[in-house]
A = this chain, B = another copy of it.
Amino acid sequence: MTLDQALSIFDEYQQKLWALSAASGIIYHDGNTVAPKKSAQARGRIIAALAEQSYGISTDKSFMEALEVIDCNKDKCDGAIVKSAYLYLKEARDMAKIPAEEYVEFSRHINESSAVWHEAKENSDFASFAPYLEKTVETLRRFASYTDPEKDVYDVCLDSYEKGLTTEKCEQFFGALKPVLKELISKVAAAKPVRTDFMKEHFPIDKQKALADYITELMGIDTDRFAIAETEHPYTTDASRYDVRIATHYYEDAFASALFSNIHENGHALYELGTGEEYAFTNLGGGVSMGIHESQSRFYENIIGRSYPFANLILPKLKELAPAQFRDVDGETLWKALCESKPSLIRTESDELTYTMHIIIRYELENLLMHGELTVDKLPEEWNRRYKEYLGVDVPDDKHGVLQDSHWSGGSIGYFPSYALGSAYGAQLLCKMKESVNVEQCIEKGDFAPINNWLEQNIWRHGRRYDPNELLTMACKQEFTPDYFIDYLTEKYTKIYNL
């Protein structure tokens, strides 16, 4: 096969793979938002058939050969194509190392594990879920021994969600953060609480939707390529940079929940919408990693959305939509209420300060689990002990404890750290951005174009062209460090609670 033939086959197959994956994405989104209840089983058949077609294409001999030819002619090809081919090749090579029957068995197991976890969470019955988690841990260890026998098992897990992330880097990151968080959390607990009485008043859903539209326009989202749907658990999905959807949830008595879901998912959406046109319909289109994606969503949600100027910016709109609720609320009061920190049981409902502590607990436990230093049966005990020690809260049952998240039941071990990394990436990006953008003034004026332009230029447009650590280093002209995030949190919470 000549290089020209290889490039032409590569292009053809890549477009097919993109299309099948985009099809699955749309069908998944439809299923989560508007499809009838009893369509689930039929949808399962459709998604499975699309996956089978994708598998057939991605393992096709000519495609494999084309990938190898491109990989052997790196210097003669465009860098983006080399990267794109490498990503397929890496996946195919890893896949080839896992015996097909074991892979199929694991998919079956994960499907069952998810169903058992749902039930177990409902009944707060960890014992019924434990054997499934044991099997997941054992299988992931075995798979790591196939694909990367020389690497640490947990490093393999981390790397699969955030390329280049290792246990060592996590230790440095969380090691630096943990004592600072502990101190800040205990100081906040001792400080005078902020005023929040107006936060839980009835805010009609149609007014919340009007607020979401206002926020979406404010954030400069191209609504010709974007749509908002409703679902149980908020998320963002994209078929391409021309078709990005978010799904959110509205609670009548907690307007801030939908407001920040909206800002967060819009942050993800901006990233997808801003990926380079030249990467559309290829595997380089879309965000590069969980960590970088969370850095964008959390940048908007926390750094911008929970800033003093942002509270001032949106207050008039809140007063317009719910006059009685915000009658005697000023910008500073709103800001502090939006940033209120209070140790709690549930990660997804926690605040910006305590959030990372929830992640640290999960990181420590999955690290121990994967290294065989903790057995699954001891997990609830260790979970509860840490919640008491790090956050000062008593876990009443496993439903509100170790069973709260779906990640482990779905086979995602090594995923949690990327959430915290995202927050820290965001703080570092902010610092670099401030060298050329007057961020505070932009927020005050509600003019997000300079911020979006900076992010588009430095992060979004690159899609998956660079690995996350490369990308961050390019954007910040510096390697990743948790220092910015530590400074950011310390300064912010010292100010809010007069520590």
Contact = CB atoms under 8 A, between A and B. Distances in A.
Contact of A36 (B37, B38, B52, B223): B223
A46 B239 contact: yes
Contact of A227 (B22, B35, B45): B35
A239 B39 contact: yes
A19 interface: yes
Interface in A11-51: 15-16, 18-20, 22-23, 26-27, 29-30, 33-39, 41-43, 45-46, 48-50
A223 B39 CA distance: 11
A193 to B, nearest CB: 41
Nearest to A31: B26
A42 B240 CA distance: 7
A143 interface: no
Nearest to A222: B38
Contacts of A33: 34
Contacts of A45: 15, 18-19, 22, 281
A48 B15 CA distance: 11
Contacts of A223: 36
A39 B229 contact: no
A237 to B, nearest CB: 12
A448 interface: no
Given A42-B281, A242-B38, A50 B19 contact: yes
Contacts of A34: 33-34, 227, 229
Contacts of A22: 42, 45-46
A225 interface: yes
Contacts of A18: 45
A43 to B, nearest CB: 7
Given A30-B26, A46-B26, A224 B37 contact: yes
A15 B49 contact: yes
Interface in A221-254: 222-227, 229, 239-240, 242-245
A242 B46 contact: no
Given A15-B49, A46-B26, A36 B240 contact: no
Contacts of A196: none
A107 interface: no
A41 B225 CA distance: 11
A53 interface: yes
Contacts of A15: 45, 49
Nearest to A16: B49
B43 A243 contact: yes
B38 A19 contact: no
| Max chain B Cβ within 10 angstroms of own Cβ: one of A46, A226, A245 | A46
A223 B42 CA distance: 16
Contacts of A281: 42, 45
A225 B19 contact: no
A244 B35 CA distance: 9
A37 to B, nearest CB: 5
Contact of A49 (B19, B46, B48, B52): B19
B35 A243 contact: yes
Contacts of A242: 36, 38-39, 41-42
Nearest to A281: B45
Nearest to A19: B49
Given A49-B15, A49-B19, A50-B19, A38 B239 contact: no
A42 B227 contact: no
A118 to B, nearest CB: 19
A104 B145 CA distance: 49
Contacts of A16: 49, 52-53
Nearest to A57: B53
A53 B46 CA distance: 13
B19 A243 contact: no
23 contacts: A15-B45, A15-B49, A16-B49, A19-B46, A20-B50, A23-B49, A23-B50, A26-B26, A26-B35, A26-B46, A30-B30, A35-B227, A35-B243, A36-B223, A36-B224, A36-B227, A36-B242, A36-B245, A39-B225, A39-B240, A41-B242, A42-B243, A42-B280
Given A23-B49, A39-B243, 17 more contacts: A18-B45, A19-B46, A19-B50, A22-B45, A26-B35, A27-B27, A29-B30, A30-B30, A34-B227, A34-B229, A38-B222, A39-B225, A39-B240, A41-B242, A42-B240, A42-B242, A43-B239
Interface of A: 15-16, 18-20, 22-23, 26-27, 29-30, 33-39, 41-43, 45-46, 48-50, 52-53, 222-227, 229, 239-240, 242-245, 280-281
